[in-house]
């Protein structure tokens, strides 16, 4: 077998392969032999049809199968022999004459490959480190958010006029340009009486309205509204106020702190201390993530290289799939939404490109620094994640692709630690 490799770009190569006629003839013979054992032809017992009859009836099919097998086997050998780090299936063009028992078979394959990266200047990256600080105001805001979440809805008594902060139960019918639209009608919708976005459950026009009153109002659809045909347009809504409700909040005291149900928390000061601790952990993780991003971006600024388009597209596929799964958990089926997937993919491209470049550079630095990942590293990472999630490590044991992804993350974390150890922090 003859192999010739031509570099088209740092991320694409052209592979020309020629297979000797004798090997082609053997593969064709094997194909007809296998076909003869299973083919059912009128007038012949199974396995007894002559080769000439098989050729007359199945020549095109056999040749197509032979081409596929020859390409698959030879290209795999070529990638090993030439150390081609292919990242996608090759685009194959069969040579003139196709395949035949009396002549060599040739084809060319264009294939995307990982770029060869020799990382440089990744030590001494300047990074601004932001101190983690949890203010009393941040703790109080989190306590109040938790406090509000324990409120319950009760009917407003003693008045029938909506006031700021009330919750109105309404029926409404909406239209755009005089025509109704999907989702534009509802009964018993709960809307808060406050300045804000009607589509987020807020409406200032309800202020001062009486129970039983009907009125019309105009609301503008947000520019990023899920139905792109309505985005930015003005809709008219006929509204009837059915009732008024208010949120009853329990007193913010030790009894409330105990009701939250956190182990070891019995008083309001203890609840605030626990929230301060949790906020500190959360902010520390956020600061570490920002520092990691800054280190990687700093290294990328020193190392520019092309990336295979196939890896970018694959990353976009994963991002779209993750978005679909997140929406599915919220009860939204992405397929039912009128979305411009081409635009969505285009919007994701820049982030996908950055993700691919970061992964390739970290992999190159790991090779340069001889970073290794052992079983102990895996178990320590699994234990760390288990502790963070509050579950036994046995629940997080992974195999196959999951284990490969875990090892890649550990390797990248080790590389980032190398970058951090050599960085200049301001």
pLDDT of 335 over the 80 cut: no
Query: Is residue 419, in this structure, part of any structural domain at all?
Result: yes
Find, among 19, 212, 200, the residue nearest to 100 by Cα: 19
User: What residues form DSSP beta bridges with 170?
Assistant: 189, 241
Q: What is the pLDDT of residue 358?
A: 96
Q: How distant is the alpha carbon of residue 278 from its chain centre?
A: 27
Length of the chain, please?
A: 426
Query: Is residue 143, in this structure, part of any structural domain at all?
Result: no
3-state secondary structure 344-385: HHHHHHHHHHHHHHHHHHHHHHHHHCCCCCCHHHHHHHHHHH
| Domain ranges, residue 21 | 2-112
Which CATH number is 383's domain given? 1.10.3120.10
- Over residues 143-189, the pLDDT tens digits come to 999 999 998 999 999 999 999 999 999 999 999 999 999 889 999 99
> Which of 18-22, 153-157, 312-316, 388-392 bottoms out in mean pLDDT, i.e. has the lowest?
388-392
Q: Are residues 213 and 343 in the same domain?
A: no
* Contact between residue 243 and residue 232 where contact means Cβ atoms under 8 Å apart: no
Structure token pair of residue 338: 């009128």
Which CATH number is 32's domain given? 3.30.70.1050
Q: What is the pLDDT of residue 341?
A: 83
Q: What is the pLDDT of residue 328?
A: 84
pLDDT band at 231 (very low <50, low <70, confident <90, very high): confident
Mean confidence (pLDDT) of the chain: 92
* Contact between residue 92 and residue 77 where contact means Cβ atoms under 8 Å apart: no
Query: Is residue 277, in this structure, part of any structural domain at all?
Result: no
Q: Are residues 244 and 294 in the same domain?
A: no
Q: Are residues 226 and 350 in the same domain?
A: no
Q: What is the pLDDT of residue 330?
A: 80
Distances (CA, A) of 275 to 268, 270, 287: 11, 9, 18
Q: What is the pLDDT of residue 204?
A: 93
CB atoms within 10 A of CB 386: 16
Query: Is residue 388, in this structure, part of any structural domain at all?
Result: yes
- Final residue of a domain: which of 194, 222, 248? 248
pLDDT of 298 over the 90 cut: yes
Q: Are residues 413 and 352 in the same domain?
A: yes
pLDDT of 337 over the 90 cut: no
Query: Is residue 123, in this structure, part of any structural domain at all?
Result: no
Question: Above pLDDT 90, what percent of the chain?
Answer: 77
Query: In the block, which residue shows the tokens 């659809």?
Result: 221
Structure token pair of residue 170: 């309404």
- Over residues 257-293, the pLDDT tens digits come to 999 999 999 999 999 999 999 999 999 999 999 999 9
Q: Are residues 160 and 97 in the same domain?
A: no
Higher pLDDT, 107 or 342: 107
**How far is 239 from 193, CA to CA, in rounded Å?**
13
Q: Are residues 164 and 290 in the same domain?
A: no
- Over residues 42-81, the pLDDT tens digits come to 888 877 888 989 999 999 999 999 999 999 999 999 999 9
Q: Are residues 312 and 421 in the same domain?
A: yes
Query: What average pLDDT does range 117-140 have in this prediction?
Result: 94
Distances (CA, A) of 86 to 42, 135, 165: 46, 51, 61
Structure token pair of residue 7: 């570099």
Query: Is residue 321, in this structure, part of any structural domain at all?
Result: yes
Q: Are residues 390 and 295 in the same domain?
A: yes
Query: Is residue 399, in this structure, part of any structural domain at all?
Result: yes
- Final residue of a domain: which of 58, 82, 112? 112
Find, among 5, 23, 130, 134, the residue nearest to 78 by Cα: 5
Query: Is residue 132, in this structure, part of any structural domain at all?
Result: no
pLDDT band at 213 (very low <50, low <70, confident <90, very high): very high
**How far is 318 from 320, CA to CA, in rounded Å?**
5
pLDDT of 339 over the 90 cut: no
Which CATH number is 238's domain given? 3.10.50.40
Radius of gyration of the chain (CA): 33
Q: Is 126 helix (H, G, I), strand (E, B) or coil?
A: strand
pLDDT of 327 over the 90 cut: no
Q: What is the pLDDT of residue 161?
A: 96
Q: Supply the pTM of this predicted model.
A: 0.74
Q: Are residues 81 and 182 in the same domain?
A: no
Q: Are residues 195 and 321 in the same domain?
A: no
Q: What is the pLDDT of residue 187?
A: 94
Q: Are residues 291 and 243 in the same domain?
A: no
Instruction: Indicate if the alpha-carbon torsion angle 277, 283, 285, 291 is positive or negative.
Output: negative
Query: What average pLDDT does range 15-30 have in this prediction?
Result: 95
Q: Are residues 211 and 315 in the same domain?
A: no
- Final residue of a domain: which of 59, 87, 112? 112
Q: What is the pLDDT of residue 229?
A: 84
Domain count, the chain: 3
């Amino acid at each position: 077998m003859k192999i010739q490799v031509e570099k088209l770009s740092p991320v694409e190569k052209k592979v020309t392969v020629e297979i000797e006629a004798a090997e082609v003839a053997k593969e064709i013979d094997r194909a007809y032999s296998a076909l003869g054992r299973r083919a059912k032809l009128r007038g012949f017992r199974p396995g007894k049809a002559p080769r000439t009859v098989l050729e007359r009836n199945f020549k095109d099919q056999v040749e197509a199968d032979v081409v596929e097998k020859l390409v698959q086997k030879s290209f795999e050998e070529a990638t090993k022999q030439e150390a081609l780090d292919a990242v996608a299936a090759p685009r194959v063009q069969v040579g003139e004459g196709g395949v035949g028992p009396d002549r060599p078979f040739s084809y060319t394959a264009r294939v995307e490959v990982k770029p060869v990266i020799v990382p440089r200047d990744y030590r001494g990256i300047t990074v601004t480190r932001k101190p983690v600080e949890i203010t009393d105001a941040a703790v109080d805001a989190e306590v109040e958010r938790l406090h509000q979440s324990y409120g319950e809805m009760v009917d407003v008594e003693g008045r029938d006029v909506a006031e700021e902060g009330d919750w109105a139960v309404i029926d409404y019918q909406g239209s755009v340009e005089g025509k109704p639209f999907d989702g534009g009608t509802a009964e018993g919708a709960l809307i808060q009486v406050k300045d804000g976005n009607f589509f987020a459950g807020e409406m200032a026009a309800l202020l001062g309205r009486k129970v039983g009153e009907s009125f019309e109002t105009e609301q503008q659809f947000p520019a990023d509204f899920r139905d792109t045909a309505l985005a930015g347009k003005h809709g008219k809504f006929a509204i009837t106020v059915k009732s008024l409700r208010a949120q009853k909040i329990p007193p913010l005291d030790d009894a409330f702190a105990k009701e939250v149900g956190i182990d070891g928390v019995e008083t309001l000061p203890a609840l605030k201390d626990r929230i301060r601790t949790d906020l500190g952990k959360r902010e520390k993780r956020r600061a570490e993530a920002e520092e990691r991003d800054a280190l990687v971006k700093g290294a990328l600024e020193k190392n520019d290289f092309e990336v295979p388009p196939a890896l970018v597209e694959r990353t976009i596929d994963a991002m779209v799939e993750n978005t679909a799964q997140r929406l599915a958990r919220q009860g939204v089926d992405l397929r039912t939404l009128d979305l411009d997937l081409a635009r969505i993919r285009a919007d994701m491209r820049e982030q996908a490109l950055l993700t691919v470049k970061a992964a390739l550079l970290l992999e190159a630095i790991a090779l340069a620094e001889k970073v290794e990942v052992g079983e102990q590293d895996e178990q320590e990472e699994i234990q760390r994640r288990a502790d963070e999630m509050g579950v036994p490590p046995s629940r997080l044991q992974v195999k196959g692709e999951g284990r490969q992804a875990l090892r890649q993350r550990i390797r990248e974390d080790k590389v980032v630690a190398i970058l951090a150890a050599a960085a200049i922090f301001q």
